[in-house]
Amino acid sequence: MRSFTYERAASPAEAAKAVATTQGAKFIAGGTNLIDLMKLEIETPTHLVDVQDLGLDQVEDTEDGGLRIGTFVSNTALSAHPRVREDYAVLTRAIQAGASGQLRNKATTGGNLLQRTRCAYFYDTNMPCNKRKPGDGCAAIDGFSRQLGVIGTSDSCIATYPGDMAVAMRALDAVVETVKPDGTARAIPAADFHRLWGDTPHIETALEPGEIITHVRLPAPVGGQHFYHKVRDRRSYAYALVSVAAVIQPDGTGRVAFGGVAPKPWRSEAADAQLPNGAAAVVRTAFADARPTEQNAFKIPLAERTLAGILADAQTGTRS
């Protein structure tokens, strides 16, 4: 870990400006991802701007019946919030499927969206990795890729966005609210928030340098049965091989997003439309352009089988 300086900002705009104008600066929230990466010198910020004093730690009702979640709301608090449990159960289930109790106490909403990939080569600074060092090459493509992405990947990088919470947020059509260094605010739909790697896998989101997440907004509840099935090698404290967030309506329509398969939570409206036709039809549409490796090709049939299980449970009214 390199040495760094530290400050606490008093307003989102001030924080954004501080990060934009200080060479090598980054935000820090719960620190559960950033500090780990700093210890390994995968991240080497020279200055940290803490977002904890910005008053962004509330979950509020919005006028349209939705929710507005402050970026500093912890994963624990968000998943336990009565309205989230009641109206957005897929989100509660997704959050609780992630990490561990201690980590969820520290992990924040904004930090969770921005957690970085768990590719083993990204974590080993002796190995070539385009994401860590643009132009360096990718050790994973012909290597240990079982956990990595099957779609939306590129010849530069096949890593995934590894998180759970964002998969549910994508299914719920959440919107990320930000403030830029010049003080202007904008709203980025979850669909556009994470980028595909292309040939710049080190650029992971739509955020501009210094742009700070202030809130995540959830539209009014959509009803239906809520499912989050995270398939992993052990029962807790492991990243998804594949996860499926789904909201299924009584008439069989609904929405579905897949985690653990791509640089972003993977959802398409065309695939959603296939829900009444069953899991195979959805997965055929959603994964039409998949480019798996030999080691992770199983993720596509696994996605189909996981969704099929959800649809079967939806019919009988049991939740997985």
Binding mask 191-230 for ligand SF4 (x = CB under 6 A): ----------x-----------------------------
Write down the least CB distance from residue 258 to ligand FAD, Å. Answer: 14
The DSSP string of the chain is ----EEEE-SSHHHHHHHHHHSTTEEEESS-TTHHHHHHTTSS--SEEEE-TTSS---EEE-TTS-EEEETT-BHHHHHH-HHHHHH-HHHHHHHHTSS-HHHHHH-BHHHHHTPPP--TTTT-TTS-BTTTSTTS-BSSTTS--TTS-SSS--SS-------SHHHHHHHTT-EEEEE-TTS-EEEEEHHHHBPP-TT-TT--BSPPTT-EEEEEEEPSP--SEEEEEEE-SSSSSS--SEEEEEEE-TTS-EEEEEESSSSS-B--HHHHHTGGG-HHHHHHHHTTT----TTTTTHHHHHHHHHHHHHHHHHHT---
Residue 213 binding target from ligand FAD, another protein, ligand SF4, none, CB below 5 to 8 Å by type: ligand FAD
Query: Using the rule CB under 6 A, is 19 a contact of ligand SF4?
Result: no
Pairing, β 25-28 against β 47-50: parallel
Q: At its nearest, how many Å lie between ligand SF4 and the CB of residue 157? A: 3
Q: Is 160 in the site for ligand SF4 (CB under 6 A)?
A: no
**48 phi and psi, to 5 degrees?**
-120, 135
Q: In terms of DSSP bridges, do strands 212-218 and 67-70 run parallel, antiparallel, or are they unpaired? A: antiparallel
Shortest Å, Cβ 202 to ligand SF4: 9
- Interaction pattern, residues 162-201, with ligand FAD; x per rule: CB under 6 A: -xxx------------------------------------
Q: Which does 123 bind (CB under 5 to 8 A by kind): another protein, ligand FAD, ligand SF4, none?
A: another protein
112 interacts with, out of ligand SF4, ligand FAD, another protein, none, CB within 5 to 8 A per kind: ligand FAD
Q: Are 129 and 121 in contact (CB under 8 A)?
A: yes
Smallest gap, in angstroms, from Cβ of residue 292 to ligand FAD? 22
Give CA angle at 31 (25, 33), nearest 5°.
Answer: 95
Candidate residues 80, 103, 222, 297; the one interacting with ligand FAD per rule CB under 6 A: 103
By CB under 6 A, name the one of 97, 119, 165, 216 that touches ligand SF4.
119
Q: Which partner, ligand SF4, another protein, ligand FAD, none, binds residue 298 by CB below 5 to 8 Å per kind?
A: another protein
Residues of this chain, 42-81, that bind ligand FAD according to CB under 6 A: 51, 71
Q: Residue number with the shortest CB distance to ligand FAD?
A: 111
Identify what 154 binds: ligand SF4, ligand FAD, another protein, none; CB under 5 to 8 Å per kind: none
As measured in angstroms, the least distance from the Cβ of 89 to ligand SF4 is: 32
Residues 13-32 that bind ligand FAD (CB under 6 A): 26-32
| Residue 157 contact, options ligand FAD, ligand SF4, another protein, none, Cβ 5-8 Å cut-off depending on partner type | ligand SF4
Q: Two tokens at 136?
A: 């360096």
User: Measuring CA to CA, which residue among 19, 8, 40 is closest to residue 207?
Assistant: 19
Q: Residues 49, 84, 91, 138: which binds ligand SF4 (CB under 6 A)?
A: 138
Residues at the interface with ligand FAD (CB under 6 A): 26-34, 36, 51, 71, 98-99, 103, 106-108, 110-112, 114-115, 163-165, 212-213, 239
